[in-house]
Amino acid sequence: MAEAHQAVGFQFTVRPDGVDFKLSQEVIKNIYLSGVTAWKKKAIQFKNGVLAGVSPASPSSWLIVVIAMMSSLYIHIDLSMGMMDTIKENLPYRDCMSVQTRAVLSAILFATGLWLFLIYLLRYTLKALLSYHGWIFESHGKMSTSTKVWLCLVKMFSGRRPLLYSFQASLPRLPVPSVDDTIHRYLESVRPLLDNEQYNKMELLASDFKENKAAQLQRCLILKSWWATNYVSDWWEEYIYLRGRSPIMVNSNFYIMDLLYVTPTHRQAARAGNVVHAMLQYRRKLERGELAPLRALGTVPMCSTQMERMFNTTRIPGIETDFVQHLTDRKHLVVFHKGRFFQVWLYTGGRHLLPSELETQFQRILNDTSEPQPGELKLAALTAGYRVPWAQARIKYFSQGINKVSLDAIESAAFFLTLDDEPQGYDPAKTNSLDSYAKSLLHGKCYDRWFDKSFTLISYPNGKMGVNVEHSWADAPIVGHMWEYILSTDCFHLGYTEEGHCKGDVNKNLPHPTRIQWQIPNECQNVIETSYLSAKQIADDVDFHGYLFAEFGKGLIKKCRTSPDAFIQLALQLAQFRDQRVFCLTYESSMTRMFRDGRTETVRSCTSEAVAFVRAMEDAGATNAQRLALFRKAAEKHQNMYRLAMTGSGIDRHLFCLYIVSKYLGVDSPFLTKVLSEPWKLSTSQTPQQQLNLVDINKFPKYVCGGGGFGPVADDGYGVSYIIVGENLITFHISSKFSSPDTDSYRFGQHIQKAMLDIQALFKPENDKTAQNAKYVHLENGKKHI
C-alpha cells in the first residue's frame, strides 16, 4: 500500500559486515525542521517567561539602572550611599581584579539588586492598588474622582503591552471574611425561605457555632490564606469536583454551542479542519503567554491561572478521588467516529498541519469503513458512568500492554474530537432543534465523547460544531474565551473556498490517521455495558428546553436604568414562584478572578427584597408604581450581593472552607452540616459573551454564539443558563429531570418569558400592556416560541 510506504521513515538491510541504514532525505528534513521549531518555541517561551517574570518592569529597564549606576562612577556622585563601596570591598577574588573592574562589577551588582527591589516595589504597589474595590460599588455610569485617579495609577503601574501572565504576581489574595459578617449575610439570605420557627432554630445553631467553634476554624483558615495563593480554590477543585463519585456526564460537565445563524461550510471535514487549526493557533499563543490578559474596565486584570490546563489535560479516575493530569507539548489528537478511535498527528516538518491537511485527514477517517473492535464501540461510556467502576477497570484492564498504550494516546492527546454522524444545530423551522442540539452536546449517545478530557470538540455532518467541557479544571468563561477566538478565526481569517473546502493546497502525502488498537476482554465489556446503561439512564432523564428571547435585550434593559443580570434574576424568581408556588434557595455563579487563583462565588438571588417584589407582582391589588419601586429595591440588593461576591465577601465559599477545616480537625458543627446540606433547587449562571470583541456583532449580527448550558443540580429543580447576546437577544438553556413530577423545562421557559415581559411592562405606560398579554396568549395556546 502506498500510504504504508510513505509512513516508513527509514530502511535497513542486514549484511554479514553489519547493518546498512538508508535514511530518506524527507525524514532528515522533517527531523531538522522539528528540532528548529522546538528550540524556537523554547526560546520564545523563555523570552516571554522573562518578560512576565519582571513585569511590570521590562528587561531594558535593567540596562537603564545599570547605566545610571555606571555613570555615577565618572561624575563622582555616589547614588548608592556607600553600598557600592561595601560590595567592592567584599567581592570574592577581588585581589585578582583591577580597581576599575571591581568598581564596574560592584555597580552592576548594586544596579541589579536595586532593579529587583524596584520590581517588587512596583508589584506590591500594584497589588495594593488592585486590592481597592470601591469602583465596583459605584453607580453605573458615575465614576468618582478618586476612582479616576485610581484607574490612572493602575494603568501607570501595569506596564506596556502586558502578556497573559504578567499580572499574576501582582494580583491580591482572596481575603477571608469575618465570621460575624458571613453568618449575618447567611441568616439574611435564608430569612425569606424559612418560617419563624425554622429561622429561630437556625439562629440558635448559628449563634452556638459562632460562640464555641468558629474562632478555632477561622484561625486555621486565616493561616491557610497566608500560606496558599488562594484559600478556596484547591479545596473547591478537590472536594466539589474530584472527590465526587457520581457520573460527571450531565452532573458536572457543561457544553458550549456553535454560531446560531451561520454555518460557514456544510462540509464536516472542512469545518473540523479550520476549527482544529484555529485551536492549535490559540494553544501556541497560550503556551507562549502571548494572549492579552482579560481586564475589567480595560484596566483591572483578571487571573489567568485556569487557562494553563486548557489543552493536554485529562481527569484521571481514582477509587477515592480523581486527579487532573496536565502534560506539555502534545503533538497528536484522538478522533472518534462510528465507534472507532483514530490518532492524528498535528505537526509535519516542524509546523502545524494546515487546515486543508487537517481536512484531508478527517475526510480519510469519515471514508474509513472498518468496523469497531470488540468492546471499542462503547468504550468511552466508562468516562460517562460512575467513577469507582471506571477507576477499577482502568487499573485491571488498562494498566499494561496494548490497552495501556492506547489509553495513554487518548489521555495525552491535545484534546478529543468526535466526528458525529447525526446533524444538529439551531433550525427555526424545527420545533425542538435547540433542545436536541443541547442534549447532543451535553451527553450525546453516552459513549461518543471522552468526558474526562479537558474538552471534547464535536463536529456534526452539517458543519455545525460544539464543545463538551470537563468542569474541574476551569469554569465556563475560560472556555468561552477560547471559543470566541476559534469562531472568529474560523469565519473571518481562515475562511473556505467556494466549494466549502479549507483554503490551501491538499497534501496527499501525509501518513494516514492510525487506528488505535484494543484488546478488551469480555469481563471489561460487561463493565463498559454497565457504565453505559447507568449513563443512558441519566441522559434519558434530562428534560431540556432552549429558546431565544428576542422581544428585547440588554439595550432596552439598560434604558430602564437597571442591571441586565438583576433584571433576569428577578424574572427567574418570578418564574420560579409561578411554576412552583414556593420560593427556593437560588444559586447564581459569580467570578472571583480579580484575586490570585480565583474561581467562583455564589450569589444567593432569592432575597427578602426579591420575595417582596414577586409577591407584589402576584398581588392584584398592587399598583405598577409600587411594583416598580420594589423591583428597583430588589435589583439594587441583587447588584450589591453580586459585588460583594466578586470582591471576596461572599457567603458560601467561606462556609464551605470552614466546613472542610472542621472535618480535618474532627470538630462537629450542626450549623455547618445544615448549611452544606441545603439543596439548590434553582441553579443559574450567566455565560459571558464578547470577552475578546473580535467580531463587531452590530456589523455582523448573524455571527453570534448560542451560548451554553449544564444539567440540573437538584432532582426536583431547574438549571438555567442565560446568555446576553448583543443588545437585542437573550438565550436561555433550561434543564430539569423527567423523573420529577414537579418540574417541566418547557413550562418553566414559558414562565420566564412571561416574567420578562411583565417586568418590562412596569417601565411602560399602562395602555401598552395589551401587546404583552397578547404574546402570552400565543404561548398558552401551545405554540413554542423560538
pLDDT digits (tens, 9 = 90+) for 736-764: 999 999 999 999 999 999 999 999 999 87
Do the beta carbons of residue 204 and residue 666 sit within 8 Å?
no
Phi, psi for 542 (deg, rounded to 5): -80, 115
In the structure grid, which three cell numbers stand for residue 548, read together? 431565544
Which class in CATH covers the domain with range 252-294+306-542? alpha beta
Confidence of residue 452 (pLDDT cuts 50, 70, 90): very high
Cα–Cα nearest to 615, from 581, 649, 655: 581
Architecture of domain 550-647+679-775: 2-Layer Sandwich (3.30)
Domain residue limits, the chain: 1-54, 192-227+650-678, 252-294+306-542, 550-647+679-775
pLDDT of residue 120 exceeding 70: yes
In the structure grid, which three cell numbers stand for residue 57, read together? 518592569
pLDDT at 479: 95
The angle, 0 to 180 degrees and rounded to 10, between the axes of the packed helices 179-190 and 214-227 is 110
**Mean pLDDT, to the nearest integer, of 430-459?**
96
pLDDT of residue 430 exceeding 90: no
Confidence of residue 329 (pLDDT cuts 50, 70, 90): confident
pLDDT of residue 55 exceeding 60: yes
Residue type, 318: G
Confidence of residue 345 (pLDDT cuts 50, 70, 90): very high
pLDDT at 38: 57
Confidence of residue 784 (pLDDT cuts 50, 70, 90): very low
List all residues 6 or more positions away from 154 whose beta carbon is below 8 Å from its beta carbon.
Answer: 126, 129, 130, 299, 300
**Mean pLDDT, to the nearest integer, of 154-172?**
89
H helix or E strand, kind and range, residue 50: helix 25-53
Burial of 140 (0-12, 13-18, 19+ CB in 10 A): exposed
770 versus 644: the higher-pLDDT residue is: 644
CA distance 602 to 232: 13
CA distance 771 to 779: 13
CA–CA–CA angle 203, 204, 205 (5° rounding): 90
pLDDT of residue 47 exceeding 80: no
Confidence of residue 771 (pLDDT cuts 50, 70, 90): very low
In the structure grid, which three cell numbers stand for residue 13, read together? 538491510
46 versus 587: the higher-pLDDT residue is: 587
State the average pLDDT for the chain: 89
Cα–Cα nearest to 271, from 368, 355, 367, 361: 355
Q: Which of 53-67, 240-254, 493-507 has the lowest mean pLDDT?
A: 53-67
350 versus 519: the higher-pLDDT residue is: 519
Residue type, 708: G
Catalytic site positions: 471
Do the beta carbons of residue 444 and residue 422 sit within 8 Å?
no
**Mean pLDDT, to the nearest integer, of 692-721?**
91
In the structure grid, which three cell numbers stand for residue 430, read together? 424545527
Q: Which residues pair with 709 in a beta bridge?
A: 255
CA distance 156 to 512: 53
611 versus 693: the higher-pLDDT residue is: 611
pLDDT at 734: 97
pLDDT of residue 433 exceeding 60: yes
Same fold, 252-294+306-542 and 550-647+679-775: yes
**Mean pLDDT, to the nearest integer, of 517-537?**
97
Confidence of residue 634 (pLDDT cuts 50, 70, 90): very high
pLDDT at 45: 59
H helix or E strand, kind and range, residue 44: helix 25-53
pTM of the model: 0.88
Confidence of residue 330 (pLDDT cuts 50, 70, 90): confident
List all residues 6 or more positions away from 517 whose beta carbon is below 8 Å from its beta carbon.
Answer: 373, 402, 406
Cα–Cα nearest to 182, from 589, 595, 604: 604
pLDDT at 44: 63
In the structure grid, which three cell numbers stand for residue 621, read together? 391589588
